[in-house]
A = this chain, B = another copy of it.
């Protein structure tokens, strides 16, 4: 990474395959609408290429390209259609799979091609020579039709280690037939950086300085990011990867970490949107999280650069020093990737952490030693009972307010509540949910019954209806996420349920936590905390 030796003047491609290879991930299931929502976010990030899927082979990918042509306006990226070289023994122009790539109207076509002789023989059941002809014919045909062609040289590194001459001949055949890029793929993901660096150096020597070589890495050895950097260092100027490292097995190279490393540590400027002032990199965290909302894959908190924990500090030993000099404790300024430094509240937190966290939430606790001691004690006790304030700032703030002001804001008093779910009939008959709450607010006793598609929803409706007369501000609040986790089930004690609820008022969103043996009871705690925090945040006084 000291040098980044690349051919003089070669363009650098940031090539995203979230919508194609990323979608192979276990548990991921992208609809056409999902893909149409993700592509503009990738474009906003500033990648140069968006691989949208395999038209012809997967019906919804055919539909994606058809709708993308009409509905999407991309400013930075071009779309790439993924497919395969022609069938053995057939003509490229007659192969329906190849024709579907043309029909997609994507300006770039990326073809997976065998470059490991064993795969050509054993998986395709053809000869090495016919496999080379398949590459030559298909590339030449698509190039003649005006497409920019990228070759994904599948299993390249494994193949090269077994039979370098054959693997190289596949690369050379692709370039000779008119491919713009040959991406060397570590399809099984088992490479290590030294191996990648060595092999790319040899390939670069063989293809000359003007050919565009790419890298496509998977993370099976835990080295996908480092392998991508090693390949760039050895002369690749086209990097493939996926947002959040999505992909089959252990995933593809996390394109965000690769780009952030190359930009922030390698001094390059790769994203189309990066200017001297701001750009894609600074939007990276927001875009990564927005995409995970669409894929519905829970974000990995420890993800480099963009993870919720990536700049979160817990250790007491560090908290006091961070007050002195935050730069000493962070590898980069989190603002560079749109992330934030956070202080975490936990039983390991000393009073310094609580003080810093208080400051983050707008409370000056510097002189209040007694409050700090009480809050620190209560946090430790609550965490021992299953609460977590790491992910529930709003509940922590209410605890702090309670200690500062002697009590939570008294917006309402609860007399009782009840939730009923029932189904009369067999599988297929819908169930009904109903909840009743009895509370006092604004000087009145209110009995309110709500219905919902589930018990928490019904309780939320009932509580909202009961409170909205006294507090019309509540109308704008909306429950947007609800997470449940069973704690301690393996310790043989009674399981405890932890519920995290996220609420928004359209501008801000806030998270609250509830804990108890009963999921509905824990939800009720988080729901009421959410209402209290929201009203307090809006400056509403108890009525």
Instruction: Please determine whether B296 and A222 come into contact, CB atoms closer than 8 angstroms.
Output: no
Count this chain's copies in the assembly: 2
Cβ-neighbour of A454 out of B324, B489, B517 (below 8 A): B517
Q: A29-B347, A294-B490, A416-B423 are in contact. Are A518 and B328 (CB under 8 A)?
A: no
Instruction: Please determine whether A220 and B454 come into contact, CB atoms closer than 8 angstroms.
Output: no
| Bound-complex Cα distance A195 to B423 (A) | 63
Q: Mark A312-343, 1 if CB is under 8 A from B, else 0.
A: 11110100010011001111100000000000
Q: A423-B524, A431-B520, A520-B431 are in contact. Are A221 and B304 (CB under 8 A)?
A: yes
B residues within 8 A CB of A258? Answer: 222
Q: Does A70 belong to the interface (CB within 8 Å)?
A: no
B residues within 8 A CB of A221? Answer: 225, 257, 261, 265, 304, 331
Instruction: Please determine whether B480 and A489 come into contact, CB atoms closer than 8 angstroms.
Output: yes
Query: Which residues 204-247 of A have a CB within 8 angstroms of B?
Result: 219-223, 225-227, 229-230, 233, 245, 247
Q: A315-B248, A325-B122, A453-B517 are in contact. Are A331 and B188 (CB under 8 A)?
A: yes
Q: Mark A492-515, 1 if CB is under 8 A from B, else 0.
A: 001101000000000000000000
B residues within 8 A CB of A229? Answer: 192-193, 223
| Bound-complex Cα distance A116 to B300 (A) | 31
CB closest residue in chain B, given A459:
B421
How many residues of chain A have a CB within 8 Å of chain B? Answer: 133
Instruction: Please determine whether A426 and B455 come into contact, CB atoms closer than 8 angstroms.
Output: no
Instruction: Please determine whether A416 and B422 come into contact, CB atoms closer than 8 angstroms.
Output: yes
| Bound-complex Cα distance A308 to B251 (A) | 12
Q: Mark A342-357, 1 if CB is under 8 A from B, else 0.
A: 0010111000000000
Cβ-neighbour of A418 out of B58, B220, B383, B422 (below 8 A): B422
Min CB gap A22→B, angstroms: 11
Instruction: Please determine whether B265 and A27 come into contact, CB atoms closer than 8 angstroms.
Output: no
Instruction: Please determine whether B26 and A314 come into contact, CB atoms closer than 8 angstroms.
Output: yes
Q: Does A414 belong to the interface (CB within 8 Å)?
A: yes
Min CB gap A226→B, angstroms: 3
Instruction: Please determine whether B250 and A1 come into contact, CB atoms closer than 8 angstroms.
Output: no
Instruction: Please determine whether B302 and A251 come into contact, CB atoms closer than 8 angstroms.
Output: yes
CB closest residue in chain B, given A191:
B331
Instruction: Please determine whether B420 and A250 come into contact, CB atoms closer than 8 angstroms.
Output: no
Q: A225-B223, A418-B422, A490-B293 are in contact. Are A314 and B455 (CB under 8 A)?
A: no
B residues within 8 A CB of A300? Answer: 300
Most buried by B among A245, A415, A486: A486
Instruction: Please determine whether B422 and A230 come into contact, CB atoms closer than 8 angstroms.
Output: no
B residues within 8 A CB of A476? Answer: none
Instruction: Please determine whether A487 and B296 come into contact, CB atoms closer than 8 angstroms.
Output: yes
Q: Does A390 belong to the interface (CB within 8 Å)?
A: yes
Most buried by B among A112, A122, A226: A226
CB closest residue in chain B, given A29:
B383
Offer 11 A-B interface pairs, CB within 8 angstroms, sorted by A: A27-B301, A123-B328, A193-B230, A221-B225, A248-B314, A250-B309, A250-B310, A433-B518, A453-B495, A453-B518, A454-B521
**Top 6 A-B pairs, shortest CB-CB distance:** A190-B331, A226-B226, A418-B422, A453-B517, A222-B257, A222-B225
